[in-house]
Amino acid sequence: MKINFDQNTGLVPAIIQDNDTKNVLMLGYMNEEAYHRTMETRKVTFFSRSKRRLWTKGEESGNFLHLIDIKNDCDDDSLLVSVNPQGPTCHKGSDTCWGSDNIQNLGFLSELENIIKNRKENMQDKSYVASLFKDGINKIAQKVGEEAVEVVIEAKDNDDDLFLNESADLLFHYLILLQAKGFRLNDIIEVLRSRHK
């Protein structure tokens, strides 16, 4: 892989990203020796600008960054390093150097899950979701079953709009069922991930 290390410092920025969650964990710098050590040991090694030496992340804390893959950008002057972190990444003890939790973010689906959770916790809400939670698990499970049947029916027809709308209804009600049972989509992802191995 061609890497354009800075002519003055001999360094290249290395953006560290969790391979599973895709969250950015930290930013470090590598020189050529740190890059080669990382490739050899499969543990991410940086060049410390303050200590003026190589350091392997986790050499003192045990919180190693296990290498999955390294890609360079279009100008070959920065690296995207995919890792499996072993423990928190930040030296201050947080998952990331920005103080955020390293949890899977599913974009709009995560946002929707949070809205459903809020409606579940606020039973005074007059929303459809709150009314389902008030009716209980049997009603919620029944709705999931009804929507699943409607998806199957629409899958056999040629109306893509109806199929997509029924699929959205099924997913929406399934998210409600997960919340009613005390789970989230990330719990399902973990089951699928464990089966994949």
Q: What is the pLDDT of residue 140?
A: 98
Mean pLDDT to the nearest integer, 118-141: 92
- To which residue do tokens 């920025």 refer? 13
CA–CA separation, 99 vs 10, rounded Å? 29
134: pLDDT confidence band, cut at 50, 70 and 90?
A: very high
Mean pLDDT score across all residues of the chain: 95
Name all domains of the chain by residue range, CATH numbers in brackets.
12-85 (3.10.20.810), 108-196 (1.10.287.1080)
Q: What is the pLDDT of residue 196?
A: 85
Burial of 79 (0-12, 13-18, 19+ CB in 10 A): buried
**Percent of the chain at pLDDT above 90?**
92
Q: What is the pLDDT of residue 124?
A: 79
Is residue 37 a contact partner of residue 30, using CB atoms and an 8 Å limit? Answer: no
pLDDT of 163 higher than 90:
yes
**Percent of the chain at pLDDT above 70?**
99
And the tokens for 56? 């392997």
pLDDT of 125 higher than 80:
no
For 117, residues 6+ apart whose C-beta sits below 8 A from its C-beta are 179
